[in-house]
Amino acid sequence: MPSAVGRARRTFEPFARVLLALVLVACSGPTHEPGPPEAPYDPLALPEAVDSNPDPHIFETTLEARVENLELIAGTTTPVWTYDGLLPGPLIRVAVGDRLIVHFTNDLPEETTIHWHGLRIPNDMDGVPDVTQPGVMPGGSFTYDFTVPDAGTYWYHPHYDSAEQVGYGLYGPIVVTDPNEPKDLGSEHVLVLSDMNLNPDGSLIPGDDAGDLGTLFGREGNTFLVNGKVNPLVTVPSGSRQRWRMINAAKSRYYQVGIQGQTFTRIGGDDGFIAAPQPLDRVVITPAQRADVVFDVALPPSSQVPVLWIPYDRGFGSVEFRNSATIFTLATDDHAPVTPPPLPALSRDIEPIDVSSATTQYLQLTENDQDGHVMLGINGVPGSQAQPLMAGVGDTQIWVVENTMDWSHPFHIHGFFFQVLDTNGVPPAVAEWRDTADVTVYGTTRLAVKFTDRPGMWMFHCHILDHADAGMMGMVHLHP
Ligand code: C2O
Ligand code: CU
């Protein structure tokens, strides 16, 4: 356009004036001067929460839960349940040791709370309605205020009607940075992986879709989302090092992520770095888990490849007749491949928890019939009727978690990291701290947990949220 205007001005002055006027009206910005080059558009970029507190070690912000109409599928609108109108909610980026203050208001048509998944914070900040705080009613508010003790990738989500509320879009990422972390880990993206169950017109499919069968399987959404987008195109330099902090925020779907011809190095999990980097062809992330992976893009310039969700066997019906699906498309620009510096040596001392004087708790993940309806539970009892387990501050316990069902369960404990001792007798390949561990179909996972501090009532549950809501929940009463 500008060059056409220039040429016109020289030869057909009156016509050029009209054309110039049209151009100026059409552009909201008045200038055609060449400005500084714009940063390339990054469809994975996440809006960040804004810190209003001048103290560099206090991050103070607001969050509002509300329904917002978003265009997830082109040409349709979806009434998404959001934090601040965003899907996912704003990225909260704080440094380890910072104090985080969140003034939360609820503008949803339903009670809610915020649970800070994976953060070792005081019990009264844990966000479980009627257990650690009163639920936040529509129009109500609550201030969360705590210190963030561990570096890593975490997330936040409600703990009321969580299958429905998380399934409708209420979740957001938290990155706790460590200023002493090694450099050269690559260009960082936080990837909030999720899915949503939508009708063709964009409306939400109700959370009780498919009845008891839906509950048993755990409802997976029919629309894959990464950072709230459907199959975005992400362009990076060929050969460049990428660091993906992935969060599985789906209420039921396991993510097995792979790229044809690409290997990954997993460097972190639920609680920051793992003991040593782990090479992987595919990255498996159960609901609620996080995976921090780095890789040098093994794709020639000017090409593209799908980043795939690959069916993962989590029980009956999870792999049969199912195909891989594209989560997003990774493309390279036309520049010559770059060569990043070697990956810095990474290691973290993770002392095995001393279990020599541990007591043992046996937990069976169970399925019962109640009045002709599926009821899930722990040791045959739904969470609402269960007596809490007991533990004292300073105690170490071994939890033997046994799955009696045809579907896997990602088992989550609030407030404390644990170490998996073994899964079906096999110890983990790399030592790491977890807050969520897979318990396979008819399998047993043994984990060790040390209740170091912070007495109170702490939840544990399956993080297939349909299972949790159907009763697969419990509490441990940690007494001083
Ligand atoms: Cu993400 Cu009760 O937890
Ligand atoms: Cu489950």
Give the percent of the chain with pLDDT over 70: 92
Identify the nearest ligand to the CA of 218 by its number. 2
Residue 307 resides in a domain? yes
Residue 122 resides in a domain? no
User: Is the pLDDT assigned to residue 102 strictly greater than 90?
Assistant: yes
Q: Which residue has the tokens 């998404």?
A: 80
**Co-location of 198 and 328 in the same domain:** yes
User: Is the pLDDT assigned to residue 7 strictly greater than 50?
Assistant: no
CATH code (residue 366): 2.60.40.420
Residue 468 resides in a domain? yes
Residue 238 resides in a domain? yes
User: Is the pLDDT assigned to residue 276 strictly greater than 50?
Assistant: yes
Going from the Cα of 436 to the center of ligand 1, the distance in angstroms, rounded, reads 9
Going from the Cα of 251 to the center of ligand 1, the distance in angstroms, rounded, reads 10
**Co-location of 317 and 215 in the same domain:** yes
Residues 265-275: tens digit of each pLDDT: 999 999 999 99
CA-closest residue to ligand 1 atom 1: 117
Residues 183-227: tens digit of each pLDDT: 889 999 999 999 999 999 999 999 999 999 999 999 999 999 999
Q: Is the pTM of this model over 0.75?
A: yes
**Co-location of 426 and 375 in the same domain:** yes
Task: Note the Cα 310 to chain centre separation in Å.
Answer: 18
Question: Starting from the edge strand earliest in sequence, which strands make up the sheet with 264-269, in order?
Answer: 223-226, 187-196, 241-248, 290-296, 264-269, 272-280
CA distance 196 to 219: 10
Identify which of 32, 37, 36, 6 has the alpha carbon closest to the alpha carbon of residue 19.
Answer: 6
User: Is the pLDDT assigned to residue 8 strictly greater than 60?
Assistant: no
Q: What is the mean pLDDT of residues 102-109?
A: 98
**Co-location of 387 and 460 in the same domain:** yes
1 sits in which H/E element: none
Tell me which residues have their CB within 5 A of the ion that is ligand 2: 409, 462, 464, 467
Q: Is 413 in the pocket of ligand 1 (CB under 6 A)?
A: no
**Co-location of 214 and 291 in the same domain:** yes
User: Is the pLDDT assigned to residue 48 strictly greater than 50?
Assistant: yes
**Co-location of 198 and 308 in the same domain:** yes
Other CB atoms within 10 Å distance of the CB of residue 75: 7
Q: What is the largest CA-CA distance in the chain?
A: 93
Q: Is 467 in the pocket of ligand 1 (CB under 6 A)?
A: no
Going from the Cα of 248 to the center of ligand 1, the distance in angstroms, rounded, reads 12
Q: Is 219 in the pocket of ligand 1 (CB under 6 A)?
A: no
**Co-location of 294 and 204 in the same domain:** yes
Residue 42 resides in a domain? no
Q: What is the mean pLDDT of residues 402-417?
A: 98
Going from the Cα of 409 to the center of ligand 1, the distance in angstroms, rounded, reads 13
Q: How many domains does one find in the chain?
A: 2
Last residue of a domain, one of 297, 332, 367: 332
Residue 374 resides in a domain? yes
Identify which of 438, 432, 398, 399 has the alpha carbon closest to the alpha carbon of residue 417.
Answer: 432
**Co-location of 299 and 215 in the same domain:** yes
Residue 1 resides in a domain? no
User: What's the confidence (pLDDT) of residue 20?
Assistant: 39
Last residue of a domain, one of 317, 332, 347: 332
**Co-location of 470 and 404 in the same domain:** yes
Residues 334-385: tens digit of each pLDDT: 999 999 999 999 999 999 999 999 999 999 999 998 888 899 999 999 999 9
Going from the Cα of 396 to the center of ligand 1, the distance in angstroms, rounded, reads 22
Residue 151 resides in a domain? no
**Co-location of 197 and 294 in the same domain:** yes
The range of the structural domain enclosing residue 320 comes to: 187-332
CA distance 213 to 162: 18
Last residue of a domain, one of 332, 351, 382: 332
**Co-location of 263 and 391 in the same domain:** no
**Co-location of 264 and 394 in the same domain:** no
Residues 136-146: tens digit of each pLDDT: 999 999 999 99
